[in-house]
Structure 1
Amino acid sequence: MTVYAVALVLVAAAVGLLRWRRPTWYWLTFGVTLAVVRVLVRYRSVMDTCGLTVPPSRWRLALARAASRPIPEPRSPRILRMWPTCTGLVLRLKLRPGQDAFDVAAASDRLRRSFSMYGVASREVRSGVVELRMTGYDVLKRVQMPAETDPRPMRVPVALRQDGSVHYRDYRAIPHALTLGATESGKSVYQRNLVAGLAPMDVALVGIDCKQGVELYPLARRFSALADDADTAAALLDALVSRMEAVYQLIRSQQRITSDVPDAEIAADIWDLPDDLRPVPVVALVDEVAELALYASKDEEKRRDRIITALVRLAQLGRAAGIYLEICGQRFGSELGKGITMLRAQLTGRTAHRVNDETSANMAFGDIAPDAVLAAIQIPAEMRGLAIAGDSSGGWHRIRAPHTSLRQAVNICNRYADRTPALPELAAFRPVLSASAAPVSLAKASSATA
């Protein structure tokens, strides 16, 4: 008995260690079996307790009375399908007549506790069919991206959602986006993941980093153009506007609007053009937008108006020309001057990391998803990289990008440096790469005394 007891203790300790260090392995080994048993055993009682049942129909009651049988029990949503994932379980339910997908979404927290799961999220797949994604552990505590994702042209997997699914940055669906976050909130890591995901694709990267290029210049081998101060940024944005106008002229010359051309082949943007004529799409990353909007003199104010005007024009017209904006900053409010709110209205995608005040969260979600504002201000300081992602549809998710060091991002950009396109309009802004740079001393010189 002593040997069996020691063995049992060792097994329990091994299971506990596995659950702590490798939650995914624990889930696939033990957790998924226990979860399936809990769901199947408790399903009817849980649905009844959560108010997700409907009374039996009249004809069933009449049939039971006529046959002197017991009154039928209330009916729960029917399980169409159930399958495990690396992070939890997925249930697809067929709702009964009279039930609504909102009822299931409102009961998500009660379902989480009743089934002893870490989280439950619901979405309506089609009319009358609801999908419950249940997570067995905190997938955002130690982010591990799936080995197989579904990247497509201009679609990058950048983070993991709270329900265990992958969060994609799809530029063709959401062309322009705004990313907010306080210092040390994980905004830079999110940006590195974005650059690392775009590096293997046929896309030109354009960077504006007014912190003398300290964030983006290490990745310069994959950038077609870089600006490290406001004056260069103004000229670079003007060059992008000129490229946009030239691309529109190309689209007009290739629209193919004759009567014998099918509607689907009429060109209205670069993706409708033949492959041999299609210009390279451009993703412009602005590291800190406030540095472009601040000014201290009349000359700087003119430069600032020029920059904001160019950004607004690119946000309004750049999608069809294949120019996409990714704007980052700590704040993005009307205090940055005229034109800022017009620019923000064009940025469909919104991502907010930890912010310092509620006003900053309102800048991101106040006009599209008020519920996400409360979630954004509740992000703890120790959870770097945790963010709230939403769009103009009003939906939002908790996401967290996997930690990518600067060295890892540099290695990826260097590996795909040969894919960096040379754009004639931006040739003057192509980063000059030197083998070594002389160190700059910041030590205060000591004065000599006689």
Structure 2
Amino acid sequence: MTAFTVALVLVVAAAGLLQWRRPAWYWLTFGVTLAALRVLVRYASVMDACGLTVPPSRWRLALARVTNRPMPDSRPPRILRFRPTRTGLVLRLGLRPGQDAFDVAAASDRLRHSFSMYGVTSREVRSGVVEVRMTGYDVLKRVQMPTKLDMRPMLVPVALREDGSVHYRDYRAVPHALTLGATESGKSVYQRNLVAGLAPMNVALVGIDCKQGVELFPLARRFSALADNPDTAAELLDALVSRMEAVYQLIRAEQRITADVADAEIAADIWDLPEHLRPVPVVVLVDEVAELALSTKKNDPRRDRIIKALVRLAQLGRAAGIYLEICGQRFGSELGDGITMLRAQLTGRTAHRVNDEASAKMAFGDISTDAVLAAIQIPAELRGVAVAGDSTGGWHRIRAPHTSLRQAVNTCNRHAHLVPDLPELAPFRPELPGASEAPVPLSETIPATV
């Protein structure tokens, strides 16, 4: 056996081992080159087989007849851009006359098989241009967030999408969101990633955790207010409504609508105000909405008070910089009057594994039937996998990187000095154990000043 043969066998063995144990490493070393060659060589024939070509134009046919040349072949979409990424390939295609972006989306599964890729998704960039993203391996099996992330204010990188791109929670674009998921579906990990991403930002965190605070109180050092029972939650929500009304008065006083002020400088929300006048934005996290909405009484004044406050915050809170992040296992009309009105105001929707189709319809029934089917097909062994969508009808499979409670606590402790001083929320500031009291393992290991 020659040295070349031995080296070739070793390279093939190494490639097979990497593909089995470290698919990301295999893709970066061998897979991206092989996949790029496979796509470029097969492109025309695959597009023809998938029905993504158009007949040659009449003038080309006439020119071929006049010059006695062979008839031209059908034309596939033009490749405008071809870019390898850390998880796959990105093709930007220019559609031919008569083609539609839906044609490419409908052929995604056939393209996946033809190009031997793990997944293929497409989206319309603009009229006549479609971006096709191909993934070379299962990026959701072992989530690894990229090192370069967009870190603009109120933009939180919270998960990885199945096409390899980062899924951001953009509060300025989608102010309010609903997160559903059954027990042990990964909903708590998603919430920890959200809190850990918000902790370094100039934002006030408000938590309502009626499960006696077991989810949010370990993170208390970074929270401006916390409630662990419905009575306190009702008072806290009333305080937030009062803050919202005060912020609206500030915006109205600073709108600057005189004739010499440019239209773009007229204030309509807190982000239009000068930085020295801008109130701190507030993110309200409700861990289990059913504990707030359910009641043993038919007409419960406390329950109606809570739902009314949440609806007002959802309808009016965006301009005042108050954003809702509501989590629960179910969010249906059985929770009582006003709950569907609240759900209609929650633009962002994320559903982890659910136990029945009705729960998935609570999240996506008014958005996309395809998203409903995707949500009910999440297997139980893939904790953390979810379907994220919004009111536009678009949706993605996502998975948040695993963040333990200890990691989230450490992040909140490191940024405890960023907790803003809000007089309206001062009565609800969580009480932290002092030095003379018994230590609390989840919050005392790392001091708040670290």
Place the TM-score, normalised by the shorter chain, in its bin: over 0.9
Q: Per-residue deviation at 1:129?
A: 1.1
Q: Verify: 1:387 aligned to 2:361, yes or no.
A: no
Q: Per-residue deviation at 1:121?
A: 0.7
Counterpart for residue 119 of structure 1: 119
Can you give the 5+ residue segments of structure 1 that lack an aligned partner in the other structure?
441-450
Structure 1 residues 32-84: Cα deviation after superposition (integer angstroms, max 9, x where no partner): 10001101110110011011111111111111111111111111111111010
Counterpart for residue 159 of structure 1: 159
Q: Per-residue deviation at 1:98?
A: 1.2
Counterpart for residue 105 of structure 1: 105
Q: Secondary structure at the match of 1:399?
A: strand
Structure 2 residue identity aligned to 1:58: R
Q: Verify: 1:418 aligned to 2:411, yes or no.
A: no
Counterpart for residue 222 of structure 1: 222
Structure 2 residue identity aligned to 1:41: V
Distance 1:404 1:22 in 2: 21
Q: Per-residue deviation at 1:295?
A: 1.4
Counterpart for residue 313 of structure 1: 312
- 1:50-449 to 2 correspondences below 5 Å: 50-297=50-297, 301-435=300-434
Structure 1 residues 306-345: Cα deviation after superposition (integer angstroms, max 9, x where no partner): 1001000000000000000000000000000000000000
Distance 1:175 1:363 in 2: 19
Structure 2 residue identity aligned to 1:201: M
RMSD between aligned residues: 1.5
Structure 1 residues 247-277: Cα deviation after superposition (integer angstroms, max 9, x where no partner): 0000010010111111111111000000000
Identity of aligned residues (%): 84
Q: Per-residue deviation at 1:17?
A: 2.5
More displaced 10-residue stretch of structure 1: 428-437 or 311-320: 428-437
- 1:28-39 to 2 correspondences below 5 Å: 28-39=28-39
Contact 2:209–2:227 (CA under 8 A) maintained in structure 1? yes
More displaced 10-residue stretch of structure 1: 54-63 or 378-387: 54-63
Counterpart for residue 41 of structure 2: 41
Q: Secondary structure at the match of 1:404?
A: coil
Q: Secondary structure at the match of 1:310?
A: helix
Distance 1:263 1:103 in 2: 42
Structure 2 residue identity aligned to 1:135: T
Q: Per-residue deviation at 1:94?
A: 1.0
Structure 1 residue identity aligned to 2:125: V
Distance 2:257 2:336 in 1: 43
Distance 2:22 2:270 in 1: 45
Q: Per-residue deviation at 1:95?
A: 1.1
Distance 1:5 1:101 in 2: 47
Counterpart for residue 444 of structure 1: none
Structure 1 residues 394-424: Cα deviation after superposition (integer angstroms, max 9, x where no partner): 1110000000000110111111111111110
Distance 2:320 2:74 in 1: 57
Distance 1:181 1:135 in 2: 26
Structure 1 residue identity aligned to 2:308: T
Distance 1:46 1:5 in 2: 33
Contact 2:270–2:319 (CA under 8 A) maintained in structure 1? yes
Q: Secondary structure at the match of 2:193?
A: helix
Distance 2:190 2:330 in 1: 17
Distance 2:290 2:398 in 1: 25
Structure 1 residues 365-397: Cα deviation after superposition (integer angstroms, max 9, x where no partner): 001112111110000000000000000001110
Contact 2:433–2:439 (CA under 8 A) maintained in structure 1? no
Distance 1:439 1:413 in 2: 17
Q: Secondary structure at the match of 1:46?
A: helix
Q: Per-residue deviation at 1:128?
A: 1.0
Q: Per-residue deviation at 1:155?
A: 0.7
Structure 2 residue identity aligned to 1:375: A
Counterpart for residue 446 of structure 1: none
Q: Per-residue deviation at 1:294?
A: 1.4
More displaced 10-residue stretch of structure 1: 319-328 or 93-102: 93-102
Change in Cα spacing, 1:69 to 1:5, as seen in structure 2 (3 Å) is closer
Q: Per-residue deviation at 1:124?
A: 1.2
Structure 1 residues 156-177: Cα deviation after superposition (integer angstroms, max 9, x where no partner): 0000001111000000000000
Counterpart for residue 443 of structure 2: none
Can you give the 5+ residue segments of structure 2 that lack an aligned partner in the other structure?
441-450
Distance 2:341 2:68 in 1: 70
Q: Secondary structure at the match of 2:120?
A: strand
Q: Secondary structure at the match of 1:277?
A: coil
Distance 2:434 2:134 in 1: 51
Structure 2 residue identity aligned to 1:411: N
Counterpart for residue 13 of structure 1: 13
Structure 2 residue identity aligned to 1:332: F
Structure 1 residues 276-295: Cα deviation after superposition (integer angstroms, max 9, x where no partner): 00000000000000000111
Contact 2:112–2:119 (CA under 8 A) maintained in structure 1? yes
